[in-house]
Amino acid sequence: MIYYSNSPLETPHMTFIGRWSPFHNGHKAIITKKITENPLLPVLILVRHTLTDQYTASARAMYIKQWMTDQHIKGTIMIIPNVEGVYWGRGVGYKTEPVSVDEAITSISGTDIRRRMQDKKSSWHNLVAVPESAYLLTPAVSSIVEQGLVVWLTGCPSSGKTTIARAFIHHVAATYPHLKTQLLDGDDMRATPVAAGVGFSKKDRADHILRMAYIAKMFADHGILVVCAFVSPDRRIRMKAKKIIGKNRYIEVYVRASKSTRMKRDTKGMYKQAAKGALQNFTGYNAFYEAPKKPDVLCDTDTQDVSSCVTAVSSRVFSRSTSHTSDSAGRNK
């Protein structure tokens, strides 16, 4: 599978094959040396699809792409099946030869780097090819790149969902700049054709949330971190949304605030309208809301500021244990 290419495929390439787990300074030196010797030839980097590495083949390919882009290197990256060996007959038409480099380069060990990473030693960052993009090699980010993730914020109106969601996306953009994100916000989505004719009855709310879950799933299927901010008052419907998205890539964040706090924040005056009887079926006042029993993250905005809420969500998203195998709702099934 071609992951990335910026050169004509019919042009002869210098080929390098490996796990690149991780792509480190030794790998970089070998490829750079051949580019120096043959500056007109693009490179072909074959990434073996292994399931035993800490991070996925897609994350490894993305990391190498970042290096190629930064260094303006011409070539192609392909993700290939894991290989047992490389065989050829006579007259294959291309060379197979080792690249001779200094002993200091050959001594760099991917196994040693992976051990340092598992031990959470900071010294490993300087051994990989692009230290500033080393976050791509962490298990949590690698998993998002491979199968996506949905962070679902639920809570009563004016509890702080949209504010936290936007602040979290801003944090991700600043900390993990190559990780793609998408915000699905309740008010914004209600104003789109996707929600045309959808009211606020219990059935309409349920149908709307399930539509949003399908949209979130489609984004996640493309390796995107999706942040959803919906009141989504019905616990049973949230569980259906989780099933649609896939339980292994769904994180539920309960944004909680007291009624008095929500009324103080209500810039639209909806609580005042509900109090006067002018607004019916308003969640948090005259319509039900079922709080999560065991949310993955609880943000109590009566006592926590936006920054601490973002830290709590980020910690859950980027410190979680992950698996490279997509669940039943994932794109690989």
Catalytic positions, please? 232
Counts for the chain of helices (H) and strands (E), in that order: 12, 9
The answer to whether 327 and 247 have CB atoms below 8 angstroms apart is yes
The answer to whether 272 and 266 have CB atoms below 8 angstroms apart is yes
Is 251 in a helix, a strand, or coil? Answer: strand
Q: How far is CA 279 from CA 41, 269, 285, 286, in A?
A: 68, 10, 10, 9
| Other residues' Cβ atoms within 10 Å of the Cβ of residue 140 | 18
Computed over its alpha carbons, how large is the radius of gyration of the chain? Answer: 24
Distance from C-alpha of 32 to C-alpha of 12, rounded to nearest angstrom: 17
Cis peptide before 177 (omega within 30 of 0): no
